[in-house]
Structure formats: C-alpha cells, structure tokens
Structure 1
Amino acid sequence: MPYTTADGKEREWFALGLAPRKAALTLYGLTYYGPNQDLLDRLGKHTAGKGCLYVKRLSDIDEDVLREMVQRSWRTNADA
C-alpha cells in the first residue's frame, strides 16, 4: 500500500499487520481510515492508537467483530 511521508517521498507499507508483543497483541491497519469505529465500540476490551489496535488477550474481544474489522480494513486499504 503506498503512502507519502511528511517530506513528500512515496513509500510502500503493509495494508494489515500483526505483532505479538509482550504487553499486548498489536494489530496494524485496522484504524487508519476510520471505517471500523462502530465495530470498535463492540469489539471488547482493547486500546487503540492512530493506526494500531492493542489487545491483551484474544479472550477479551469478540472474534466475529475482529473478523469483520479485518475484512472492512482490507477492502478499504486495498482501495487506498
């Protein structure tokens, strides 16, 4: 997925990503464009940054809601 840096250079970046970190499972690309705000409200226990979603345990969230977020984000990011 292309993006433009602050200095105007074009770079490639992944559309969706996952990083199993010690503090939390980090999911990238689910909050970039805002298509999932309604789903964030139903997801369960999480925190969100500008482009990241943090989940401490998968048992804390609704997996069906997460699946829908991934599908929406993939479609949105693929069109970006």
Structure 2
Amino acid sequence: MAENKTQPTDASVEDFLNKVESPKKREDAFRIKQIMEEVTGEKAVMWGPSIVGFGQYHYKYDSGREGDFLIVGFSPRKISLSVYLLGCMETSFDELFAKLGKHKTGASCLYINKLADVNETILRELIKKSYDYMKAKYPTK
C-alpha cells in the first residue's frame, strides 16, 4: 500500500515562512499561522516541503488504504494562500463562505489572494468549525 506523500517533517515552520518571497504574503502567512494556532490550540508543523499543518487525524478508507493527515493547514502559494479546511468541504458551511469575502474554493481548499480580502472573524469560524468537525469525525484514541 502506498504511503501518503505528504507527511509531517521536522523542518522549521518559521524558516519556511520567512522564505516566502512577497513581503505581504509572508506577513499574511505568519498571521494565518497565528490564527490557526489560536483557534486549534495546536502547534504548527511542516507537512511535506510546503504545507503548514495543525493537528492530525488517522483515516481508513473502505479500500483498506489508511494514513494520517493534517486537520487544518495552509500553504502560501505564488498565486494565493491555500487554506486546507477538510471539514468545511465535507459539510455545508455555505452561509459562512457567503460572508467571508473574496475567495475561491476547491476540493478541501479555500483560496485567498490576501487576508485583507476576507473577514477574519468568519475565517476563524470556518477554521474552528472545520477543525471541530474533523476531530469529531476522526477521534483520537
């Protein structure tokens, strides 16, 4: 069985974020890190070379494939800030997304050009609801 390619590492989150080229995106990335730490109570951990994750859960599919993945996280990509909110994509938080501000969504991802484009209170609520949903769906032993 193939292992999940994205695994937690010992790499420094601060070193990674300090290498973000755009000063504004770097500032936004450090702010999202702070928000996620506050909302989840989890320490930031690098997952693979480019994702900052908070918490982890263990999944097992009907196919037998299983593994571990971050509960919430983000990555400061060149085009946008990718925010990983797995729980928000599995349940309907449409009314919160409607109040969030300028964003796009994809499979398990929320894409934000810059933090100034969104309502931080709503972003915090989405992170909290997603985190709580995943913790309830995949309780740790």
TM-score (norm 2): 0.52
Cα drift, residue 61 of structure 1: 0.5
1:36 aligns with 2:93: yes
1:25 aligns with 2:114: no
CA distance in 2, matches of 1:77, 1:60: 26
Aligned to 1:45: 102
CA distance in 2, matches of 1:43, 1:54: 11
Aligned to 1:16: 72
CA distance in 1, matches of 2:74, 2:62: 24
Q: Once superposed, what is the RMSD of the aligned Cα atoms?
A: 1.6
Give the gaps of 5 or more residues in structure 1.
Answer: none
Please identify which structure carries the higher helix content: 2
Aligned to 1:67: 124
Percent of counterpart pairs with the same letter? 32
Kindly name which structure, 1 or 2, has the bigger radius of gyration based on alpha carbons.
2
- Give the total of aligned pairs: 80
CA distance in 2, matches of 1:66, 1:41: 11
Give the gaps of 5 or more residues in structure 2.
Answer: 1-56
| Greater relative contact order (CA < 8 Å, ≥ 6 in sequence) | 1
